[in-house]
Amino acid sequence: MDLNDTPELAEYRTMVRSWLAEHKAQAPTMRAEDEGTDEHEHVARRRAWQRELAAGGLAAVTWPAEYGGQGLGPLHQVVVNQEIGRAGVPGIFDIIGVGMLGPTLIAHGSEEQKQRYLGSMLAADEVWCQLFSEPAAGSDLAGVQSRARQAQDGSWRLSGQKVWTTNAQHAAFGLLLARTDADVPKHKGLTMFVVPMDAPGVTIRPLRQISGEAHFNEVFFDDVALDPLSEVGAVNNGWAVGMTTLLFERVAIGLGGEGFGWRADRFAAALLADEAATRDPEVRHRYGEIAADFLALRFTGYRMLTTLQRGGIPGPEGALAKVTTIKAAIAAGELLVDVLGPDGLGDDLWGELVSDLPGLKSAGGTEEILRNMVGERVLGLPPEPRLDKGVPFSELRAKERASAAVTRPLAEADAGAPS
């Protein structure tokens, strides 16, 4: 067990720290402290700051140098994250683009695409969004119904609807998963596309949530024209491309909780608002449980980093870190607002935590689906019976309807304990 920096990493840390000290004055405030300012103004400041960070080499630490990155490893990225946190400044604005979509383009995109998109993504001149989930395709992502049809000249027409899209209103481009062949089983007929968000036929609507804020959008595509060669990777190979994105997402979430500012020490500091509460046995007990979960997550992250550093790919058990993160964050929000009283529900930090978490529980795969995945891939348990294996996507609907029709009323069911 060794969490100390190697001499090389220590030197890198010093460099990052002094860069941040020098440039800190130009950094915008965090969103919660920036309350009252116009959202677009705030985003403009965050983008300018990302440009600064990119120029300083702190934005795309793990990207190859030829695409504007530093060509460094995941540990360097962690050092940057830690030092940004320590300096109390925001990180990059386009986390989804730089953290997940850029690496996907690097892995699967054409050379032209890489040259065209990566530089401006890094500098936040063009923000990106991820267009995967749909109203009827979330955890079962391969069920996407957005349809792209190719014309003779190689161009495409795209129609459909996406949902849960962060930053769509700020984005120049989206990475979109669409069905291109409905006559093959569902995983096999998908293609990944680059979609310009200002194209005619694209409509973006904010999706308000429990807190009243809109952190996500719905995006509609009505016969949108896409240029030839808009596809990323081969036609009908979109599933593999999407898996790359989700792998980066898994790593981000696995290393994540504390990145969102959900930390045992911050919760402790918040509890000090009521000194009497810190001596209350019930508050202490609940807080102790929450803190232990967040500590476990921190060190699970280090275990995952060790795997990455050795050239391995973190396994699906990383999904369990997400389950623990959400469980512990829900408990933390509840506890803090219990201590603050009803007014706490309106609190920008803890009140919003309470309101946001029911939705976040399903983000990046519902808890139920993650548990299925871990049960099957890690513990080797037999899979759920499924109706869609090997069935062409176009016949799936009819099959689903037929299965619904044979569901009998409870009284007729024969599955029960012996009497």
Q: Which of 24, 40, 208, 303 binds another protein (CB under 8 A)?
A: 303
The secondary structure of 4-50, three-state, reads: CCCHHHHHHHHHHHHHHHHHHHHCCCCHHHHCCCCHHHHHHHHHHHH
Would you state the structure tokens that stand for residue 121, as one six-digit string? 């993504």
Cα–Cα distance measured from residue 158 to residue 178, given in angstroms and rounded to the nearest whole number: 8
Q: How far is CA 243 from CA 177, 253, 307, in A?
A: 11, 15, 19
Nearest alpha carbon to residue 195 among 180, 173, 170, 177: 173
Residue type, position 394, single letter = S
Establish if 2 lies at the interface with another protein (CB under 8 A). yes
Q: Which of 257, 300, 350, 364 binds another protein (CB under 8 A)?
A: 300
Q: Which stretch binds another protein (CB under 8 A): 50-58, 116-124, 162-170, 301-309?
A: 301-309
Single out the catalytic residue among 249, 367, 376, 400.
249
Closest approach of another protein to the CB of residue 71, in Å = 19
**What does the DSSP assignment read for 50-71?**
HHHHHHTT-SSTTS-GGGTS--
Establish if 382 lies at the interface with another protein (CB under 8 A). yes
**Location of structure tokens 């990493």:** 9
Per CB under 8 A, contacts with another protein among 40-69 are: none
Give me the residues paired with residue 156 across strands. Answer: 150, 226
Would you state the structure tokens that stand for residue 114, as one six-digit string? 């890489």
Binding characters for another protein, 352-371, by CB under 8 A (x = yes): ----------------x--x
Establish if 75 lies at the interface with another protein (CB under 8 A). yes
> Catalytic: 33?
no
Strand pairing report for 190-196 and 156-163 = unpaired
- Give the nearer residue to another protein in terms of CB position, either 201 or 288: 288
Per CB under 8 A, contacts with another protein among 273-292 are: 278-279, 281, 283-285, 287-289, 291-292
* Interface positions with another protein (CB under 8 A): 1-5, 9, 75, 264-265, 268-269, 271-272, 278-279, 281, 283-285, 287-289, 291-293, 295-300, 302-303, 305-306, 309, 317, 320, 323-324, 368, 371-372, 374-376, 378-385, 415
- Catalytic residue numbers, as ranges: 249
